[in-house]
């Protein structure tokens, strides 16, 4: 099943999660948006964003708005946050508005925020949980 992992990350937290998911699923490396754009006929797109002040980054929102839905059949959403993870639902809603089937289950974890908040996040347990999430979603669609 053709699978892609895309993300937007300012500080590198979401990138770590995306790379762990890509490694678990043995897909080409995770790529940051923009300029990454999914190739034709992606069966499963993992789409991750850093969450800033409770919102997804504007670059991620713009990417979703320009996404050619003929290229993506299913999407799973993940993110990292300093405190709130409400932006995950925003991303899911934007994808659904485009007509993409969005997996209900999501993944979110704390990310390092400034110097001392969530200092060692995401940690090895978060990366392990991200891999479990990715595998579960992938296997559920493959079946």
The CA distance from 69 to 95, in Å, is: 9
Note down the domain range covering 138. Answer: 3-142
User: Domain containing 107 — which CATH number?
Assistant: 3.40.50.360
pLDDT for the residue 142 = 81
pTM above 0.85, yes or no: yes
Q: Which residues of 65-80 are buried (b: 16+ CB within 10 A; e: fewer)?
A: eebeeeebbbbbbbbb
Question: In tens digits, what is the pLDDT along the chain, a chain of 143 residues?
Answer: 999 999 998 888 899 999 999 999 999 888 888 767 777 889 999 999 988 878 898 999 999 999 888 889 999 999 987 666 678 899 999 999 999 999 999 998 877 765 555 567 788 899 999 999 999 999 999 86
Assess contact for 87 and 81: CB atoms under 8 A: yes
Instruction: Provide the pLDDT for residue 73.
Output: 93
Cα 142 versus chain centre, distance: 19
Please give the tally of structural domains in the chain. 1
């Amino acid at each position: 099943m053709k699978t892609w992992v895309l993300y937007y990350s300012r500080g590198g937290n979401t990138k770590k999660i995306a790379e762990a998911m890509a490694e678990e699923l043995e897909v080409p490396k995770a790529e940051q948006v923009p300029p990454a754009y999914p190739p034709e006929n992606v069966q499963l797109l993992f789409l991750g964003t850093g969450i800033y002040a409770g919102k997804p980054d504007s670059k991620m929102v713009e990417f979703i708005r320009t996404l050619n839905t003929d290229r993506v059949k299913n999407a799973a959403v993940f993110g990292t946050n300093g405190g709130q993870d409400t932006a995950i639902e925003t991303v899911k809603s934007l994808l659904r508005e485009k007509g993409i089937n969005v997996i209900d289950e999501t993944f979110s974890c704390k990310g390092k925020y400034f110097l001392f908040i969530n200092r060692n996040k995401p940690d090895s347990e978060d990366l392990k949980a991200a891999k479990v999430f990715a595998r579960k979603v992938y296997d559920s669609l493959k079946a």
